[in-house]
Amino acid sequence: MRDRAGLYAFLGYLLLSLVFFGRGICPPHFFTRIGAGARNHDPSLMIWALEWWPYALSHRIDPFFCRVIWSPSGVNLAWVTSMPLIGLCAWPLTRALGPLGAFNALSLLAPALAGWSAFLLARHVTGRYWPSMLAGYIFGFSPYMLGHMLGQLFLLYVFPIPLAVLLALLFLEERLAEKYFVPLAAVLLFAIFGVSLEIFATTTVFGAIALGIAYYAAGSDARGQGVRRILRPVGASYGLAMAAAAPYLYYLFAFGFPHGSIASPKRFSCDLLNFLVPAPTNLLGANALMERVSSSFTLLPGPAECDAYIALPLAAIAFSYLRSRWDTRTGRMLGLFLGITLLCAIGPRLHFAGHMLFGMPWALFDHLPLLRSALPGRFMLFAFLALALSAALWTAEDARSRAVRIAGAAAVVVFMIPNPDARFWSKPAHTPAFFSSGLYRKYLAKDETVVILPYGQSGNSMLWQAESGMYFRMAEGHTGTTVIDDFQRWPIVNAFQFRRAIPDPQEQLKAFLAAHDVSTIIVADPRDRTEWGPVLSTLGTRPVEVDGVLLYRIAPTELAPYKNTHALDWQIAFNRARFEQLLVAAERYLTSGRNLASLTPFRAETLGFLPANWSLGQGVYDRNGLWLGPWRDGNVSVGVVGSYSAVKPIIDAYAPLALGVYFPYPQRLVGPPKGNLFMRKLVMVFDRRGLARAARMAVRARTRARAASAIGPPAHP
């Protein structure tokens, strides 16, 4: 064994990972519990991806364009966090343990690999074993890693990043020839790209920042010349890596881009308070007081993205080292890199205790491809690498007493201990026996298209499909923060996702099922049985209870009248019904003498002016796409979300009665709108007289619509 010390370091980190995170999934729970405590269902996508890549290649089907989810449209996986490289490398593991078992094993391995790679880098920089072990612990068990241990496997495999820095140092020190540096760096870049496009993009940005700082710190001496000399081999490494990733790049750019950011950088930014207050992923954050404070850090539920906490001893050690070594090249480089990284991690807007304040420098990157979807809070990955190196260098300095260094290192370790509750790091898979026992084969045909409730990202349908070996197709999926465009056009999908009531749900459901060739609905959650039972009862079939699920087998004759309808027909009917109901609700609210300033969809629903379970949130604009509230000068604003073709009939009908029409909001509509018109806000402003006339017109329109729906579904011209 050429590097016995490195092996011992890796085994030490692996043991820590097992102790910290593995107790909740020890046998016999390894195949029945998910080694991730996320409150959402993100782990199901990671587990699904581990099954998909081997399945696609072994069945000789296109692995990038997947049609077993979001069927029959399919989805381009190049823009999904589907981890192709992990899926392929873990093929034998997935075959041996199944997708859930493989996910659990890979989750436990990730912190050990991250810690080991940081150990190797720190050992090269310091030449000391124990300071390097501390660096590996800081990086491998940082708040960044702890947060994403809750289910985001693609963000955990970051071990190539410290190795890439190590290669660069070896090259600059002329200890690694260019002919070796280029292919080795290309392998690491390809590995990062094949796991996470986001991490690849941000690694490129912060790598460029690091090289710029190195050049600045080196000045015009030979070291500065070395920094310039590395640019060509780095470019060659990128060229090789991208050549190897050519199939991925083709699918990335050949079929268009997602609409807007995949997720909002403003929502996924570091809160200033989070630098001082840990999330529940940390031992010190796992108490009622700290959880109450940390719950304000993010607009999304759960602590996964609250990863900015810098333990007080670590901050003190890093500050001490950087202050004392600022006059050295290494001290300036680490200090500048850490400062720039922390500034970028704050994101495009400053956050404090959940409040969004003024703009920050990262806002300049909001409109750049790839980077506009990078989430600034995740830049803490690079900050913790810089902090780990600073702590290792401080601990390795003999100028301080051994006792001080040991005490400082011990304090860092204690302050960074993860949440000790084994239940925090795992959760039951809740796989119904219908899937786990293989009974689905008796009731479903191979490649039959089904809908499973809970729907999409609201449940574990992706996990169950993976455990079936992709036996059936689904007219749903969980491939990120948003539903794919083809499915967003169907109002019933929004109802499934958010568990909201919609106008004419029975008709909307039948049209959706007919358009997507769905022959079976599987209800796996008692809550869905209650909420959707009345709607499902109109499908003309009696449900069959089988091992924990309800099966609705739908006869083709039941859906035949809906075969010739299209999503646009149902969008138009849906948007118009909601808009007209909002008009009537606003008029009734004001006629009753209530305060216009308090008008919202939630308030109108609470008072019975809107149907129950329509609103989602308490603002003028809510997350269910409803807009209702006051406007300037005592006027009233009413709106819905929809594509232009789906809201144009509303505009045509009610614009003559409105003071102003905004689409896409906040742009005032003057002539045909331009730009991205897919699922945008329509807001119309009425004075009291115009609102009264519009409400009367809406009542007549709803009466005609109900009469027409009794005749049959709309026919597409």
- Cα–Cα dist 28/551, whole Å: 30
In a domain, 632, yes or no: yes
Tokens of 305: 């993205």
Among 394, 421, 448, the domain boundary falls at 421
Strand partners, 522: 452, 551
Domain-embedded: residue 260 = yes
* Strand blocks (E) in 656-696: 660-662, 680-686
Q: Which pLDDT score, from 0 to 100, does residue 710 have?
A: 55
Query: Given the structure tokens 């509750």, which residue do they identify?
Result: 421
Q: Within a domain: residue 449?
A: no
Q: Residue 313's beta-bridge partner residues?
A: none
Question: Domain end: 421, 442, 471, which one?
Answer: 421
pLDDT value for 340? 94
Asked, for residue 43, whether it belongs to a domain, the answer is no
Residue 518 counted as domain residue:
no
The sheet with strand 449-453 has its strands ordered as 473-474, 449-453, 520-523, 549-553, 544-546
Alpha-carbon span 409 to 388, nearest angstrom:
11
- C-alpha pair distances (Å), 534 with each of 373, 452, 594: 40, 17, 34
Among residues 378, 389, 392, the alpha carbon closest in space to that of 158 is found at: 378
**Contact indicator for 439, 546 with CB cutoff of 8 Å:** yes
In this prediction, residue 716 carries a pLDDT of 46
In sequence order, what are the residues at sequence separation of 6 or more whose Cβ sits closer than 8 angstroms to the Cβ of residue 295? none
- Domain stops at, among 396, 421, 446: 421
Residues of 629-661 as b/e, b for ≥16 C-beta within 10 angstroms? bbbeeebbbbbbbbbbebbbebbebbeebbbeb
The tens digit of pLDDT for each residue in 330-379 reads 999 999 999 999 999 988 888 787 777 777 777 777 767 666 777 888 99
Burial (CB < 10 A; 0-12, 13-18, 19+), residue 450, is buried
**Sequence-ordered list of residues with C-beta below 8 angstroms from that of 192, at least 6 positions apart, any chain:** 158, 160, 161, 164, 199, 200, 203
Kindly give the parts of the chain with pLDDT less than 70. 1, 37-39, 219-224, 256-265, 298-302, 367, 369-371, 481, 707-717
> What are the distances in angstroms from CA 402 to CA 131, 136, 384, 406, 491?
12, 20, 24, 6, 66
Question: Would you say 459 and 525 are in contact if contact means Cβ atoms under 8 Å apart?
Answer: yes
> How far is the C-alpha of 104 from the C-alpha of 107, rounded, in Å?
5
Return the sign of the alpha-carbon dihedral for residues 631, 635, 639, 644.
Answer: negative
Residues 6+ apart with CB under 8 A from 646: 489, 568, 571, 572, 574, 575
Domain with 623 in it: what CATH number?
Answer: 3.30.450
Report yes or no on 44 lying in a domain. no
Buried/exposed 273-295: b ≥16 CB within 10 Å, e otherwise? bbbebbbbbbbbbbeeebeebbe
Position 242 in a domain? yes
Nearest of 360, 373, 379, 355 to residue 307 by alpha carbon: 379
Tokens read off for 147: 């947060």
CB contact at 8 A, 485 and 259: yes
Residue 602 lies in a domain: yes
Are 132 and 123 in contact, with CB atoms under 8 Å apart? yes
Work out how many domains the chain is built from and give that number: 2
Domain housing 612? 568-711
